[in-house]
Structure 1
């Protein structure tokens, strides 16, 4: 672990607590030193303060996501300031506000190191309810994170979609109905458990059915029902893991774009990556993916040439190639389709649009 924080007390507390769990902690007192240590030590996780001398945490996070060597390192922001939305929009794995319970920090680090273990996200504006749900699920061995409103939930899920969502309905600003509608429109398919004290009418129930949500009314046994639903999800997830998921190759030279697509497709496909056209052709021939996402402006060999090369090889000729590019003109589109692309998407692409295009082109095969 690398802790980037200029507060000696925080350094001592984090080093002591994580050291008790056998984690090795390296520290940096400013952002510039933090970036230097990241490049020389390649930490598993970075714990990052925001307000620091020389280079603040926002600048560090932006630099990491733009650097291919650092872009994949999970970043946990640990700050006295509440700016969750900005943190998640820049690619933070989690945002914790000081003071934070040491056990909570350990839990978040465990989730960051082993993201495939799955996470439950609790969205409720009532602090007591959030606390009860978190403690009950953690006691059953689940990794749990929380946010206090719908807007923060949507920002968080853009960066790191949970495996299971526990959602309140009545919240200020963006309510639970809107959260549910927007995550389904974005193509997210994770299960949603609605935990609410609201009296539901027929219109409410229809909206929740449309969003494929399981509804639990708040009462004496509601926590047990939430735990039971979470356990059923784990069983279903284990069953699904025995089924082969599609393998998709993403050919893209910009680390930040790869990071975005990686987050979009987590849990949907097995993602392979290549950073230029030549490497993309080599990986496609070696791995035989089910589908290829192809940038067009690539070093060494551009996407048009790479696609024609794949189409000319019997081993890869039938693999669908979907162009994913900043080139938006009709001429560029025709050129890509003429080179052999099956479909054409322009950046920036929404998650739902990308997932639908992948499924559409996989179904054609």
Structure 2
């Protein structure tokens, strides 16, 4: 402040210029760094604060890291920035409802593979599935059911190697497995599969039998002789009945299943069960490799060839 008698007084104010605000995606990306070490991350999009709080407490008890959004547009920004393990999405929200958010998520390559669970009083299961949602859970929430669903989307410790000469089959299997939390690698024949194994031992192998260059039988024989691969679970999918001689050759497979009438989702669930049992075996002190199941009843898990 300066003052000159007869002229007046001058006041000088210095106001610091604020730095440009971060975009919502930049803020979300920064927040992700704090949650990355917490394990699996889920995103809850719901306009009701009480529901977001309930979901947060529930998921944290299940050892998930949680981020929330109170509206659809913020939820989309967070989904793109965080790449969550799964998204819990309400339907009835102002400005942008859940169906619009779901459509935007599935049309964006950056988020199309993220499983979305619709959680709402109007969670129509058929409509949800037709728009690409993995599940629909009505409110009031059945927490036991929700926990079972989320267990499917926990990060797999490793990946699934899908070995099949049919590219369309590989694509369909890959889509379903990725929706269930797996990372997936592909091979069109046994030789390509061995190359993939050399780059990194997979957690599980899903194996077709009839392929050019190297068939499934030869690949399985070679796989079991590679370092670190003696106990990798292998699920064989056969489009036909296998002979007694072929069953002997498949003695090192953990499952032999026939492609029939069930959905690929059943296959994903079976892989998760097999992986869980294998993890328990590895963790048990003093437990050796043990005998493998040379054949499960071929009709135990039929797979619809049309869905492949």
Normalised by the shorter chain, which TM-score bucket?
0.3 to 0.5
Greater share of helix residues, 1 or 2? 1
Q: Using structure 2 for the length normalisation, give the TM-score.
A: 0.47
Output the TM-score relative to the length of structure 1: 0.41
> Rg: which structure is higher?
2
